[in-house]
Structure 1
Amino acid sequence: MKGLKPTLLALCVAGVPPAAMAEIQMLDEAAMGDITGQAGVTIELETQVNIDRLTYTDQGSLEVNDIFVGGTNRTDLFSEMRLNLTGRPANTLLDNIRIDIDVLSDGDAVINFQPQDLAFIDLGIRTGAWNLVGQTDTTTIMDNFRMDALVGSGTLWVDTATDKLNFITDFAIDDMDFDVPFLAIGIRDFELTGSGYDLNAPRALDLFARVNMDIYKAPNHAGVDSLAVDLQSFEADIRIGGILVGGTSIGSIAMDNLAITNTSMLIYGH
């Protein structure tokens, strides 16, 4: 790669008029240090994603149909708070997102995403049928998936000292529904909040559950490099309004102060 640099420089200089050459001065390393790393990059984002079909193929295939990722098109998320927590009119855009990207002096890369204003990011995800497809048979393992959620903030931090990606985010699910046709099961009104959230005295500061995980490379039991995921902490309250079996509700479930910690996972091919 070093051999390319003089060639590229020569091509650039060749296009400069002679009069302008007189104004060009070489910068020493100290001067170069003064003009680099002074500021990061900020991106303001709004988007909507539609995918007709996503297919993962091994010997057979897993198909996920009719994928939508965008806004919830609602202003009544967590209605017990009696506030429009998105701060914006209802729409189908994933918006109100600010992404700050910085490279620190030690080489670490930090990406922060958060709302642009004093509100939260609403996230809507919808899918159609999830099908397992073989050479002769097909089974629908999930259908009619719908999730309306809020995201408070998040951070991606690549640590050059440990070669780890740390991911932290705060989120809450107002409503999630889906069916599992091959088991005749349906889930309705799934809600996830922070472990300190009280439905009778709701506070925005208690609303979000936090996920903290490290993602990196590590050997598996055979010494082969694998994708490692360590869940450092996750605490939440979970409520399921209805569990359907054969289309009939068999009741509801509530889990208070669910805590998952010190959990590790290795992912690799076989």
Structure 2
Amino acid sequence: MFTRIPLCQFITGLCFAGGAALPLSAFADFKPLTDSTLSSVTGQAGVTIELETKLNIDRITWTDEGALSVNGFRLSGHNDTTLDNLRLTVDIAGDGEVLEHGFSEIARRAAAGQLDTSNPDVADALAKYSMGGSYGKAFNSGDMVIHLGATDYGDPTNLNDYLRAVDFELGIDSLTTSGSEGSANLFSNILLQGYVGPTDLIIRNGGTSTRTLGNGNTVSGSELQLDTHFEITNGSLNWDAADLIFIFNFAAVGIEGLQIHNRRGNDTLGHFGMASATAKLSQGTSAGSGKSGLSIHDVEFRADIDMPVFKVGGTSIGSVQFTDFAIKNTTIMVYGH
């Protein structure tokens, strides 16, 4: 259960606490707060934040010898409306505590008889997220669990209301690179509209433990885990001058009517028609180079991709579809040079 706190009140409380005049000796007695500690203070465990926003950034630039710029970035609801109906729940888990995760709300509704379990996705969610009378995922003591969902899911018996509760629109005017030779557009006129499904950010409290990946890289047991579902219902972009995986040059390609989902093929179960992505991030050391840096591992992306209008040089050459498009067994090590 969660306490719903207005964001302004939450921030004001933090500022007041931070500004209090305490003797230095008092800080020696400060200890991390757990959910059980918070519960004894507030009567409820965890914090809920309701969010409405629109984000605009004129330019984001990374400068090395040259510069890479993202121009005209904006994030909003459909048709440049406010991005709203967002709810964040934040918890520090106790040992074995079951907290909301993934499609656990679907499992809760199915158990209450609000959704038809003859639907394979609903039945899968009930089996996956039912935890002895609770619904979600069990976590370890000290794990921070942030779950993104909706404030209002609409009719609890309507699955489509749940899946389309949070709509978004992402726009980017252009992605450019510049240097002594001038500048060039890599991509331009990027527009993506769709829906955000359940999204989880988990900071695992692994202490100082480490583990070894299949490729020999060593990574920290304390890591950030991302698990998200989403759907792109309408997208477009111009691919002006860029290579795909350093093999295919897609310069002068235009895509219209882009859709990214998971409604076809052999791996749809449990995804409710949405594309999915998971990844883990932590400090790591490369087995090959011995360099330490940011390890991005256990990466997986699953989707069906439809491009009904695929243009080359401004002329449509037909449509392109990918079914059961999957990226898996992927590890990335990022470090400076």
Common topology (TM > 0.5): yes
Q: Tell me the equivalent position of 2:316.
A: 249
C-alpha spacing 1:34/1:6, structure 2 compared with 1 (3 Å): farther
From the superposition, tell whether residues 116 and 33 of structure 1 become closer, same or farther in structure 2 (CA, over 3 Å): closer
Matched to 1:35, the amino acid is S
Equivalence for 2:86: 97
Q: CA deviation at 1:212?
A: 1.8
1:225 matched to 2:292? The reply is yes
Give the match's secondary structure for 2:257. Answer: strand
Cα deviation, residue 231, structure 1? 3.8
1:184 paired with 2:219, answer no
Q: Deviations over 1:150-198 (max 9, x none)?
A: 111111111112201111011011111111234211111111111448x
- Residue 267 of structure 1 is matched in structure 2 by 334
Give 2:280's match in structure 1, choosing from 207, 214, 221: 214
SS in 1 for 2:308: strand
Q: In the alignment, is the contact (CA less than 8 A) between 1:228 and 1:267 conserved in 2?
A: yes
Tell me the residue number matched to 2:113.
Answer: none
With 221-230 and 39-48 compared, the bigger mean Cα shift is at 221-230
The structure-2 alpha-carbon separation of the partners of 1:265 and 1:205, relative to structure 1 and needing over 3 Å to count, comes to closer
Whole-angstrom distance in 1 between the partners of 2:231 and 2:75: 16
> SS at the partner of 2:336?
coil
Query: Which amino acid counterpart does residue 135 of structure 1 have in structure 2?
Result: S
2:50 is aligned with 1:44: yes
2:139 pairs with 1:133: no
| Deviation, structure 1 residue 260 | 2.3
Aligned to 2:304: 237
Change (3 A) 1:134 1:242: same
Aligned counterpart in structure 2 of residue 72 of structure 1, from 59, 67, 78: 78
Query: Where does structure 1 differ by over 6 angstroms across 4 or more consecutive aligned residues?
Result: 31-34
Higher strand share: 1
Query: What is the aligned-residue identity percentage?
Result: 31
What CA distance in whole angstroms lies between the structure 2 residues aligned with 1:169 and 1:116? 17
Q: Give the superposed CA RMSD.
A: 2.7
**C-alpha displacement of 1:6:** 4.7
The reply to whether residue 146 of structure 1 matches residue 146 of structure 2 is no
Aligned residues of 2:38 and 2:45 also touching (Cα < 8 A):
no
* Superposed CA offset, 1:102-124 (max 9, x none): 11231110000101111421110
Residue 98 of structure 1 and its aligned partner are, at CA, apart by 0.2
CA distance in 1, matches of 2:38, 2:173: 53
1:170 aligns with 2:238: no
Letter of the 2:234 partner, please give it. D
1:195, 1:257 within 8 Å by CA — same for their partners in 2?
no
CA contact 1:195–1:235 (8 Å) conserved in 2: no
Which residue of 115, 125, 143 maps to 2:150? Answer: 115
**Given residue 328 of structure 2, which amino acid in structure 1 is its aligned partner?**
T
- SS for the counterpart of 1:257 is strand
User: Taking structure 1 as the reference length, what is the TM-score of the superposition?
Assistant: 0.76
CA deviations over 1:218-250 (Å, ceiling 9, x no partner): 112322221111244332111111211110011
CA distance in 1, matches of 2:38, 2:186: 56
Specify whether residues 244 and 51 from structure 1 end up closer, same or farther in structure 2 by C-alpha distance, changes over 3 A only: same
Which stretch has the larger CA shift, 128-137 or 231-240? 231-240
Greater Rg over alpha carbons, structure: 1
Secondary structure of 1:35's aligned partner: helix
With over 3 angstroms needed to count, the CA separation of the structure-2 counterparts of 1:223 and 1:240, relative to structure 1, is: same
More helix by share: 2
Q: Which moved more, 1:154-163 or 1:178-187?
A: 178-187
TM-score (norm 2): 0.61
In structure 1, distance between residues paired with 2:89 and 2:226: 15
Letter in 2 for 1:239: D
Structure 1 spans left out of the alignment, 5+ residues: 11-30, 74-90, 198-203
